[in-house]
Chains A and B, each alone.
Chain A
């Protein structure tokens, strides 16, 4: 025999609450997904540039630069050396200076791209010494220097994402607590009858806990799905972007971290709602009776 729930089915207030919790779950999940995606993209980019160096040669003598490149290739830990063509240098500078400006109007330096083994160490001092021995003016630019900034930015991003998720969770707790108290007052008649029928505080709290658990899990699923759709749209939109921006944007894969975030969203929402409801009901009942 199916029993009617002791708390009546939801009304307009619960629909509004469902919307608010869904929106909070959406924002929390989206924050976490974007933070995770950006972190993955930046980590991949950092790993790629970690062993890279650029050698800027201040001489128009391409043959001398080729000799220098051959010398660098002989150094311990150097994996690959590539003297860039004028077209490749132009392509590198184009995002900063625009197209059509460079051709013949500026004296471009020669660039040697070096890929070194990060496990052996930074070959910059040896390259500098080699240039000095060959009387070549120029400078060595180790890209690993930039990764420190990226790491710092990632730490900040992670902190901001965690702060955003914590703030959203705190907002959800406040909203659920407020809604529970409102529901408790609106259903005071039921609470009184249950009390008179011998129900203790825990029994009454469980009715509200169950109600808000179900509501928050459903809202969490809605929010997580919306966050997945939004992040997919963001990735799709920026996937068209060329150049370095595309490398730094969130990766378009559904990795285990993203799946974990999406699965955790409704469960965490449910647990938060249930706990907030329990604490609110038990403390309110002590004030009421």
Chain B
């Protein structure tokens, strides 16, 4: 099998070796995935529905363990780590979902601050930082509002701010533009690009939107029936 490598440089943020995923023995959702994502690279992941995009992302943000194979994040073998250490490693990963996954009973401020609160930081320590980030995503007027009172685009920007608050080393976005309009979708991806350039964050965005991928002209990984395929137009292959 070929090994897919995305991004320049030798420093690898994410490395998958022979990774398979099998939820219930009925068949493999992912088969023999070999992949390297270079540190600071900006990548798209695409493929038809049911191809295994979300499953691959779940493995990367450590919500699931692979059935076989090895996953290394920031040079650490995740299968050999204890649950507590995995939780700490997760703090270096920001995740954005199509359906936002905000906590409706918390304000926009509290949702964004959640990763800091989980770490045990006091609100007084991070207040300015959270407000600045909400301003950066254009929500300075929505700080104390709860998700049900926000529009879809605003909720997605809160979710993005939550994913970015800790300046993650890896940002994973699963169809982040799926529930927002065209313009908002572009704005969101531009935020990711800015983050990538400013902080060197490794970014992987799963999307169906080929037009979006072309517009941003970044390496593309294509999944089909659980197999990672090379894309001649956008992917790099070694």
| Interface residues in chain A, defined as those with a beta carbon under 8 Å from any beta carbon in chain B | 1, 3-4, 6, 8, 189-190, 192-203, 286, 289
Shortest Cβ distance from A93 into chain B, in angstroms? Answer: 74
Residues of A near B88 (CB, < 8 A) are: 198, 200
**How far is it, in angstroms, between the C-alpha of A221 and the C-alpha of B61 when the chains are bound?**
44
Do residues B124 and A1 form an inter-chain contact, with CB atoms below 8 A?
Answer: yes
Q: Size class of B's contact patch?
A: 20 to 34
Contact with A4, one of B106, B118, B119, B124 (Cβ below 8 angstroms): B106
Q: Does B84 contact A (CB under 8 A)?
A: yes
Query: B residues touching A (Cβ–Cβ < 8 Å)?
Result: 61, 63-64, 83-84, 87-88, 90-91, 95, 101-103, 105-107, 110, 114-115, 117-119, 123-124, 127, 162, 166
5 tightest A-B CB contacts, nearest first:
A198-B91, A200-B87, A197-B115, A199-B118, A8-B105
What is the minimal beta-carbon distance from A27 to any residue of chain B, in angstroms? 35
Residues in A with CB closer than 8 Å to B118 are 194, 197-199, 203
When chains A and B are docked, how far (Å) is the Cα of A85 from the Cα of B107? 87
B103 proximity list for chain A (CB < 8 A): 6, 189-190, 193
| In the complex, residue of chain A having the shortest beta-carbon distance to the beta carbon of B168 | A198
Min CB–CB distance B74 → chain A (angstroms): 14
Q: Quick one: closest B residue to A289, CB to CB? A: B63
Closest Cβ of chain B to A286, distance in Å, is: 7
CB-nearest residue of chain B relative to A201?
A: B83
Bound complex: CA A257 to CA B123 (Å): 46
- 5 pairs, A vs B, C-beta closer than 8 Å: A196-B61, A196-B90, A198-B118, A201-B87, A289-B64
Provide the residues of chain B in CB contact with A190, threshold 8 Å. 103
Whole-angstrom distance between the alpha carbons of A147 and B99 in the complex? 74
Q: Which residue of A lies closest to B82 (CB)?
A: A200
C-alpha gap A170/B227 in the complex (Å): 51
Known: A3-B110, A4-B106. A198 touches B101 (CB 8 A): no
- Are B63 and A189 interface neighbours, CB within 8 A? no
Chain B residues with CB below 8 A from A197, complex form: 90-91, 114-115, 118, 162
A201 to B83 alpha-carbon distance, docked (Å): 8
A-side contacts of B63, CB under 8 Å: 192, 195-196, 289
A200–B84 contact, CB under 8 A?
yes
Max chain A C-beta neighbours (<10 A), residue from B83, B102, B107:
B83
| A3 and B105 form a contact (CB under 8 A) | no
Supposing A1-B127, A192-B101, A203-B118 touch, asked if A198 and B90 sit within 8 A by C-beta, the answer is yes
Closest-CB distance, B59 to chain A (whole angstroms): 12
Centre residue among B63, B118, B162 by max chain A CB count within 10 A: B118
Contacts of B162 in A (CB 8 A): 197
Most buried by B among A6, A198, A200, A201: A198
Q: How far apart sit A14 and B124, CA to CA, in the bound complex (Å)?
A: 32
Query: Which A residues touch B95, using CB under 8 A?
Result: 196
Chain B residues with CB under 8 A of A193: 101-103, 114
Q: Are B107 and A198 in contact (CB under 8 A)?
A: no
CB distance from A170 to the nearest CB of B (A): 29
- Measured CB to CB, the closest approach of chain B to A110, in angstroms, equals 84
Closest chain A residue to B146 by CB distance?
Answer: A4
Contacts of A194 in B (CB 8 A): 114, 118
- Contact: A198 with B119, CB < 8 Å? yes
**In the complex the two chains form, is A4's CB within 8 Å of B105's CB?**
yes
Across-interface contacts of A189 in B (CB, < 8 A): 101, 103
**Closest B residue to A189 using CB positions:** B101
Residue of B88, B95, B105 with most chain A CB atoms under a 10 A cut-off: B105
Shortest Cβ gap from A35 to chain B (Å):
44
Other A-B pairs beyond A3-B110, A6-B106, A201-B87, 4, CB < 8 Å: A1-B127, A192-B101, A196-B63, A200-B87
State the Cβ distance, A12 to closest chain B Cβ, in Å.
Answer: 16
Contacting residues, chain A, for B91 (C-beta < 8 A): 197-198
Say yes or no: A3 contacts B114, CB within 8 Å. no
Complex Cα spacing A198 to B101, Å: 15
Given the known inter-chain contacts A6-B103, A192-B101, A198-B91, please indicate yes or no for A1 contacting B123, CB distance below 8 A.
Answer: yes
Are A3 and B83 touching (Cβ within 8 A)? no
A201 near B84 with CB under 8 A, answer: yes
A3 contacts B90, CB within 8 Å?
no
Could you tell me the distance between the alpha carbons of A286 and B65 in the complex, rounded to whole angstroms?
12
CA distance A15 to B90 in the complex (A): 35
CB distance from B238 to the nearest CB of A (A): 31
> If A4-B105, A193-B103, A194-B118 touch, does A200 touch B83 (CB 8 Å cutoff)?
yes
A192-B115 Cα distance, complex, nearest whole Å: 13
In the complex, the chain A residue whose C-beta lies closest to that of B104 is A8
How far, in angstroms, from A197 to B92 measured CA to CA in the complex? 9
Contact B87 A199 (CB under 8 A): yes
CB pair B114–A4 under 8 Å, yes or no, is no
Q: Which residues of B contact A1 (CB under 8 A)?
A: 123-124, 127
